[in-house]
A and B are shown apart, each in its own frame.
Chain A
Amino acid sequence: MKVELLAPAGDIERLQVALLYGADAVYFGGQDYSLRANALNFSLADVKKATEFAHNLGKRVYVTVNIVFHDKDLVGLREYLLELDKIGIDAIILSDLVVLDLAKKLNCKFECHISTQASILNYETAKFYKSLGATRIVLAREANKKDIKRIKEETGLELECFIHGAMCTSFSGRCVMSNYATNRDSNRGGCAQVCRFSFKFNDDQEVFSMTPKDLNMIPYIKEMITIGVNSFKVEGRMRSVYYIATVIDAYRRIIDMIVENKYNNAYTKYYLDILNRCANRDSTPQFFEKIAGKDEQYFLGRDEVSNQDFLGIVLKKEGNYIILEQRNYFKVGDVCEFFGPNMEPVTFKIGEMYDENDELIEVARHPRMIVKLRCDLDLDYMTMMRIKVFDISDYL
């Protein structure tokens, strides 16, 4: 199979952004049985709409059915799987074997992918799941390149690896700190992320957290393709449309350049700067080359104040104007940048600007206000406008 870029989708808008910005497939949870129990998630009607949208673009949808089930949670699972099958989704992502077993007994046509919650780091475990009919393994985030390569060689399975986003402190699925500290069941989607709280150790004076820095595999994408990774997965079903657009846009371009043999290290630096600014967090490759150590964690003083880089999203073009939904303050004279699918980033200085009553304005200050900007550029629906910070020409 060709290299797949797999994006999270917390709702229909983010799903559309992810696919339009270059994801080959998206994953999301239904309103039950998903590990983001407190995200918006998708009703069955949403799943149908999402599947049709993706399939019309020639892309794929995967539905997470990845909680660890208690007996009472099993009520309705059979009907749910049959509904997903009827809709025609491409795969489910599961960790509890009861789901795999049931999907096979029901002769569901969708593929079964084994979630990272199963914590797979070796070929024998992967072979076991293959013997049950799984077609793809989402490896544990702790997998290093040696193990990824070996698992591919020994099993021939499709391998999916996380390349970007938040990490668990623990092996995913092997933590119930949330249950003990907040009574929220982490393995049924209620994780309160207690590991990110502040702690003291014994009688020491130091205050610390166990928070991992984000994962970021930009420097290693080429190597991951070489050792046999099939699907490159971005974490973040609860992230913003801007985050999704920025991250997916970056990885889409990186993967395409690698495949076309046009990639060089200047792009690595450029996209690392873009993505680190977008997330407001430090990021590292974590376990790919070594056991993640102290430099892969935050202990103190993590500054995660949101920036206001995301200025707006293009709704449509009307003659020499674009209609834009404002997301952060901007004013006449600001230098910004448009980026979007099917276009190279374009620098733009804000000039003539109107509100939705066609009143000339100097400042767009109201969240989500509709703004009309004079602009001769041809910009598609969902093109994003951001503050201009980095320019690729400075890196090349």
Chain B
Amino acid sequence: MKSKIIVNIEHLEDIDRYKKVGINTFLFALKDFCVGYENVFEEKIINEYPDNFVLINRILDCDDVDRLRGLLPTLKVKGIIYEDIAVFNLVKELGLDWELIFFQNHVGTNSESINFWLAKGVDAVFISNELTKEEIKNISVNTAGRVVIQVLGYNQIMYSRRLLLSNYNDNFQLPRRYYGTIEEISSKIKFRVMENQDGTVVYSEKVFNGLELMDLNAKYFYINSTFLSFEEIVNFLNGNSKVESDRGFLDKETIFKLRGQ
């Protein structure tokens, strides 16, 4: 099963260590085109590790699209994981023979939409992390396993174009910080927050541990290593982690209509 794992790389020196434990497929967040990742990589670094995946998870404006049209053909990758549909159009237009993996956070929530994308030529679609295990299982079955299931890591739960930490620091005349934890006053619920020049991403407080989902049929299983060390990830995989984690929504269905309505 480890052969199906994709893990994002935060530190290049981890690559050989991952390989030693049987993880051989890596994701590199592309500089200037990603939010919510601690470390991003320039094209020349990514090209030193061919046959892996590149990540573009920003919502793109027109200038970004123009720039990517020139940049994408220079990348030596096996595939691309992307948020903005513009990337799909560009890869097709440029005739790049890459694996296309659609990863729009919170959106891969039903089988038919995923099958729509597969019919369009996408190779796999990320399943949303806000689903129950039963819902994920059904989607996996209904899409013949052409999905990516996130099995470990802090969950990205909000993406803003605003520089929320900088705005906060500016407003209260505090030193610049680009990472930290926010706590909601009344409920005491905490979230991790990370900002770069392109926006702010809010993460869950606890590590989502859905490794049990690796029993399901999927093209890949994704580990988001943001905020986690190599050792912590291996401990999770070996079942002996001491890092606080939860099972997200695997057995907790969300509601949207309040009682009596």
Within the complex, the shortest CB–CB distance from B61 to chain A, in Å, comes to 5
Chain B interface SS verdict (over half): mixed
Q: How far is the CA of A194 from the CA of B165 in the complex (A)?
A: 17
Chain A residues near B202 (CB-CB < 8 A): 175, 177
Interface string of B131-142 (1 = CB under 8 A from A): 100010011001
Given contacts A140-B59, A151-B62, A177-B157, contact A197 B109 (CB under 8 A): no
A175 touches B163 (CB 8 A): no
- Per-residue interface assignment for chain B, residues 58 to 79, with 1 indicating a CB less than 8 Å from any chain A CB and 0 otherwise: 0111101100000000000000
Q: List which A198-217 residues lie within 8 A (CB) of chain B.
A: 198-202, 204, 206-208, 210, 212
With A71-B135, A174-B106 in contact, do A122 and B161 touch (Cβ < 8 Å)?
no
Specify which chain B residues have a CB less than 8 angstroms from the CB of A150 in the assembled complex. Answer: 62
* B161 and A291 form a contact (CB under 8 A): yes
Chain B residues within an 8 Å CB radius of A345: none
User: Across the interface, do A201 and B180 meet the contact criterion of CB distance under 8 Å?
Assistant: yes
B186 contacts which chain A residues (CB < 8 A)?
197-198
When distances are taken between beta carbons in the complex, the residues of chain B under 8 Å from A142 are 59, 161
- Name the CB-closest residue of A to B113: A98
Stretch of B167-175, B214-222, B229-237 with 4 or more beta carbons under 8 angstroms from chain A: B167-175
On whether A200 and B182 interact (CB within 8 A), knowing A127-B89, A171-B160, A180-B189, the answer reads: yes
B111 near A208: Cβ-Cβ < 8 Å: no
Interface string of A345-373 (1 = CB under 8 A from B): 00000000000000000000000000000
Q: Flag whether B39 is at the interface (Cβ < 8 A).
A: no
Q: Say whether B49 faces chain A, with CB atoms less than 8 Å apart.
A: no
- Contact residues in B for A293 (Cβ distance below 8 Å): 162-163, 167, 170
CB–CB B85/A197 < 8 A: no
A177, A189, A190, A299: which contacts B168 (Cβ < 8 A)?
Answer: A299
Report the Cα distance A119→B138, complex, angstroms: 27
Beta-carbon contact of B161 and A125 below 8 Å: no
A185:B187 contact, CB within 8 angstroms: no
CB within 8 A of B61: which of A147, A175, A185, A297? Answer: A147
Give A207 Cβ to nearest chain B Cβ, in Å. 6
The answer to whether A71 touches B187 (Cβ under 8 A) is no
For window 90-105 of A, CB contacts with B under 8 Å fall at 96-98, 101
Question: In the bound complex, do residue A179 and residue B254 qualify as a contact, i.e. CB atoms below 8 Å apart?
Answer: yes
Q: Which residues of A contact B250 (CB under 8 A)?
A: none
B106 touches A38 (CB 8 A): no
Q: Is A121 an interface residue (CB 8 A)?
A: yes
A238 interface hit (Cβ, 8 Å) = no
A121/B111 in contact, CB under 8 A: no
Task: Evaluate contact between B181 and A202: CB separation under 8 angstroms.
Answer: yes
Q: CA–CA, A185 to B159, complex, Å?
A: 16
Task: Determine if A207 and B185 form an interchain contact, defined as CB atoms under 8 angstroms apart.
Answer: yes
Q: A150-B62, A200-B182 are in contact. Are A38 and B257 (CB under 8 A)?
A: yes
B163 touches A128 (CB 8 A): no
Complex Cα distance A208/B164, Å?
A: 11
Q: Are A177 and B158 in contact (CB under 8 A)?
A: yes
Whole-angstrom CA separation of A188 from B252 in the bound complex: 16
- Sorted nearest first, the 8 A-B pairs with minimum C-beta distance are A190-B256, A124-B86, A185-B254, A188-B256, A294-B167, A175-B158, A174-B159, A198-B185
Query: Could you write out 23 A-B pairs with CB less than 8 Å apart?
Result: A37-B257, A69-B109, A71-B110, A124-B90, A140-B59, A142-B161, A147-B61, A147-B62, A169-B160, A170-B159, A173-B106, A174-B106, A174-B159, A183-B255, A188-B254, A190-B258, A194-B184, A198-B185, A199-B184, A202-B180, A204-B172, A212-B162, A299-B171
Other contacts beyond A38-B258, A179-B249: 11, CB < 8 A: A96-B113, A119-B59, A123-B86, A150-B62, A154-B62, A169-B158, A171-B160, A180-B189, A200-B182, A291-B163, A299-B172
